[in-house]
Amino acid sequence: MALKRFLSKIPYSADLYDALRRTRPHTRYNLTQLEKALPQAAAQVRNVLRSDFADERNKKNDTPHKRIVLFATLHYWVEQAVMIGLALRGMGHEVTLAYLPYGDWDRDINPFDLRRQDLYTRRVLKPLTGLIRSHSLLEVSPLAALPDALKPAVETASAFDVMYTLQVEDFDRNSALYRFRCKRNEQAALAALWLLQQSRPDTVLVPNGLVTELGIFYQVARFLNLMTVTYEFNDQREQIWLAQNDIVMRQNTDALWAARGHTPLNDSEREKIAALEDARTSAKKYGKGTRFWQDVPSMGGETLRASLGLDSRPIVLLATNVLGDSLTLGRNLFTASMAEWIEKTVQYFARRTDAQLVVRVHPGERLMKGPSMVGVIERALPQRPEHIHVIGPHEKINTYDLMEIASLGLAYTTTVGMEMAMRGVPVIVAGQTHYRGRGFTYDPATYDEYFGMLDGLLYSSSSNRLTEEQVETAWNYAYRFFFEFPFDFPWRLMHFWKDYELWPLARVLSPEGRAAFGRTFEYLAGQPLTW
């Protein structure tokens, strides 16, 4: 390591070393699969561009071709971004790939290895010559200082990065990690500002748009008032989430709901959403999904009631989220954090012996390294009363059985709140979740309102089930969210190369592929979304 630091101070030492070795650096940064696939992929795009089909389509296509800047960092995003860029190029758009050749977002890298990773990336991307321009943001000439208006964005993005990395809500702003993320994000913001001001693209395309350098690149693009598209993936193969001039991780469904929310479900749609809910309840996969939503099949609510020792008092189900997940960052409304909300809620219920509180800690905590909500509850209630039950992340309990016996639901942003409403259970939503304000939840804006709603709903717990109209609205919304909010797309980030085997560029750019995914690629290119 000391030798590399020394060599990095000698001009062109990394370049000379790379020219002699011409191998991949022995770091986490790995473009091996892209290196193998790219020559053929580029050839397929060239064939499409010079084909009679492409010529005829270009004459007839009323959609203007866009100048697109596509940004990626971390090798797995870079790999996918290259193929997305090639697909967009094959559809006639002008694409520039901007990248940062980092292998990690949470630790520094010595300049020698970083330079080698950059040279390695350039070598891998050589087949793009003549198709896509590529820019390493390490090589641009950034401005000397950020505009004052962008400095808060760097601080917020860096805070999200720390929370995402450590899976926490509270952290020390004097910590080495926060200072490191501020430095990285400021460097990325300066480079992005220079590049985007120079190129003035029609569209900026960024995955995720919330965390790592992806987040600050999005913020710079919006600062410049450029059309900016963000995208991410759910658990279903051949699907993508995307948003325009918004962070896709916010899951903003306002426009979708405004356009489709007043349309009643038809029989086919109702069958689809019912089949999905059955799969989620019964611990089965659904469609092209890769995820089991429960560890164990349903045993029935009353059987679970007996096994947990719950009595006839009303049951309030509080479902937690995983801390630091990018779907929960920045979702606070009237609370300082989700943990604070849980603390205040369990302390409230400690005084309410007329009801039973069941806290279902998210099973996803088994995969996290941050603090558990179990610890939050233990600190709030060192002597937990018998009517407050905590189901830990490792316990094999089917959450849908809990919904069946719940009289009231409490949620921050988890979809469990929406699914409880689908079962007629009234739900109080404390965080900024996508289904808040859709007509089937209680949506407090202050703690006073929150506790007032709790008092009122517990007082009338025997008669506060949602109306048929509210339940129908919840089912309608759930269908729109699960089946219309995602768009058809050939390649997810996870298992990308398996997806690419099924959908190589030649097939994606064929009439079959354009019929399946063409609309989505045009939305990614910046054509306004229509629902």
DSSP class of residue 127? G
Residues 331 and 469 in one domain: yes
User: For residue 179, is it within any domain?
Assistant: yes
Q: How many domains would you assign to the chain?
A: 2
Taking the C-alpha atoms of residue 16 and residue 14, their distance in angstroms, rounded to an integer, is: 5
User: For residue 531, is it within any domain?
Assistant: no
Average pLDDT over residues 438-466: 92
Q: Give the model's pLDDT for residue 53.
A: 53
Average pLDDT over residues 132-142: 90
Residues 491 and 480 in one domain: no
Q: Give the model's pLDDT for residue 54.
A: 47
pLDDT greater than 50 at residue 23? yes
Residues 98 and 86 in one domain: yes
Residues 462 and 496 in one domain: no
Residues 171 and 234 in one domain: yes
Q: Give the model's pLDDT for residue 19.
A: 64
Average pLDDT over residues 191-210: 96
- CATH number for the domain harbouring residue 420: 3.40.50.2000
pLDDT tier, 364 (very low <50, low <70, confident <90, very high otherwise): confident
Average pLDDT over residues 342-364: 95
User: For residue 510, is it within any domain?
Assistant: yes
pLDDT tier, 63 (very low <50, low <70, confident <90, very high otherwise): low
Q: Give the model's pLDDT for residue 10.
A: 56
User: For residue 175, is it within any domain?
Assistant: yes
Q: What tokens were used for 437? A: 């304000």
Which pTM was predicted? 0.92
pLDDT greater than 70 at residue 477? yes
Residues 237 and 155 in one domain: yes
Residues 212 and 326 in one domain: no
Q: Give the model's pLDDT for residue 422.
A: 97
pLDDT greater than 80 at residue 462? no
What is the phi-psi region of residue 300: left when phi exceeds 0, alpha when psi lies from -120 to 50, beta otherwise?
A: left
Q: Could you tell me which residues come within 8 angstroms of residue 443 by beta carbon, excluding any fewer than 6 positions away?
A: 428, 429, 436, 437
pLDDT greater than 80 at residue 11? no
Average pLDDT over residues 142-168: 93
Look at 354 and 52; give whichever has higher pLDDT. Answer: 354
DSSP string of 198-212, one letter each residue: HH--SEEEEESSSSH
User: For residue 88, is it within any domain?
Assistant: yes
142 residue type, one letter: P
pLDDT greater than 50 at residue 224? yes
C-alpha angle 436-520-492 in degrees, rounded to nearest 5: 80
Q: Are 202 and 256 in contact (CB under 8 A)?
A: no
- CATH number for the domain harbouring residue 195: 3.40.50
Give the lowest-confidence range in 59-73, 120-134, 337-351, 406-420.
59-73
pLDDT greater than 60 at residue 58? no
Residues 180 and 271 in one domain: no
Look at 425 and 281; give whichever has higher pLDDT. Answer: 425
pLDDT greater than 60 at residue 9? no
Residues 171 and 62 in one domain: yes
User: For residue 439, is it within any domain?
Assistant: yes
Q: Are 294 and 281 in contact (CB under 8 A)?
A: yes
Look at 219 and 324; give whichever has higher pLDDT. Answer: 219
Residues 39 and 126 in one domain: yes
Which domain does 519 fall in, by range? 2-251+487-524
The average confidence (pLDDT) of the chain is 91
User: For residue 529, is it within any domain?
Assistant: no
User: For residue 256, is it within any domain?
Assistant: no
Residues 227 and 163 in one domain: yes
Residues 507 and 480 in one domain: no
pLDDT tier, 297 (very low <50, low <70, confident <90, very high otherwise): confident
